[in-house]
Every structure is written in C-alpha cells, then in structure tokens.
Amino acid sequence: MEPQNEQQVMSLKTEATGMMQWANGLTVSTQETANDAMQRLSVIKGMRKKVVDWFAPMKTAAAAAHKAIVAREKEITDVADQAEQVVKAKVISWQHEEADKAEAERKANAAAAKEEAKEETAAAVVAPVIDVAAPAATAAGTSTRKTHKAVDGLSVRGYSHRGWRVRFEAVSGLSTDRLPVVVVGIMAAIVYISL
C-alpha cells in the first residue's frame, strides 16, 4: 500500500477508535443522553460507510485480479483434468478387455474340463456281455424271440421269453438273484434285474 493510502487508513482507524472510546464511556440515564446517543449513532454509521467506500475500489481491483488469476489457473488445470480423464478411460478400457479375456478363458477351460470328464466317464464304463439262455423246453403256444440292439456302439444281445434265466459267466462273485445291467449313454447307471 502506498504511503499516502497508509496515512488515510491510519486516519480512519483513529476516527473509529475515538468512536469506540466514546461508546464505552457512554451512560444513558436521561432522555437527553438517549437523544444524544442516537445522533452520534448516525455519525458512527456515516463513518462506517466512509470506510467501506474508501476500500471499495481496492476490493473491486482485488476481486478482478483474483478472477483473472483463477481464469489463468483454470486454463492449465483444465488441460491436466483432460489428461487425467484420457488416462483413466484407457486404463478402464484395458481392464474391461482383460476381464473379457479372462472370462473367455474361464469358459474355454470349463468347456474343456466338461468334455474331458465326459470322455473319461465314457471310457471308464464297460458294459458286460449278457448271455441269455432260452428255456430248454417250450410249452405249447409260447415262442422265443432273439433281440440284438446296438446302444452307443455296444452290442447288447438277449432272448425274450417267459421264465428267462440270465447268467453272467464272465463275472464271478455276483448274486444270482440280482444281476447288473449297465446302460451307457451320457450318464451311466446300473439296473438290477430280479429273477
């Protein structure tokens, strides 16, 4: 602040300090002192307005300078903000691509594991050969029929007749009243035939 302006500030401060001293020493005890205080109050308000008016051009200049400084700052920070957005967008794009790749790999691995499990299950299941012997003597009015079917590449042979006798000659240790028949397909199951 220039020396002349500093002198004016000191003058205004001295005047305001004098008003404060008068206000501290004021005692209102009569109508006359109350009227005097009210007149002095208008002087105090006038003095305040003079101070505000005196500082107004400096505040306006300071506000304009602040506005100009903020505008210059914004020119540069806007570029930095744009650079930040570009970097973030590229990182997010890369993250999405990586997630898509990981998901595709996960699906491929799951499909391969499923196919491998299916192949292992199909290879592990071996259907036994079932020999079905027709009854030695046939009663009058009955017939015997041979059937031959291919199921999933396996040949299944059998005889249909009342009073079947089924035997497993190749498999030992099986109960003769419940014999397993393996059905091969997508899933394997064991069905028991009771005699």
What average pLDDT does this structure show over 1-16?
84
The predicted-structure confidence for 32-46, as pLDDT tens digits, reads as follows 999 999 999 999 999
For residues 115 and 103, give the distance between their C-alpha atoms in angstroms, rounded to a whole number.
18
What average pLDDT does this structure show over 127-139?
56
Closest CA to 166 of 141, 195, 127: 195
pLDDT at 121: 78
Helix axes 3-25, 31-124, angle to 10 degrees: 110
The structure's pTM equals: 0.41
Which of the pair, 179 or 58, is modelled with greater confidence? Answer: 58
List beta partners, residue 95.
Answer: none
Domain boundaries, the chain: 3-91, 131-194
The predicted-structure confidence for 163-185, as pLDDT tens digits, reads as follows 444 443 334 444 444 444 443 33
The predicted-structure confidence for 60-114, as pLDDT tens digits, reads as follows 999 999 999 999 999 999 999 999 999 999 999 999 999 999 999 999 999 999 9
181: left (phi over 0), alpha (psi -120 to 50) or beta: beta
What average pLDDT does this structure show over 141-159?
50
Q: Is residue 195 classed as helix, strand or coil in its secondary structure?
A: coil
pLDDT bucket at 147, cuts 50 / 70 / 90:
low
pLDDT bucket at 195, cuts 50 / 70 / 90:
very low
List beta partners, residue 182.
Answer: 190
Which of the pair, 49 or 124, is modelled with greater confidence? Answer: 49
pLDDT at 152: 44
pLDDT bucket at 155, cuts 50 / 70 / 90:
very low
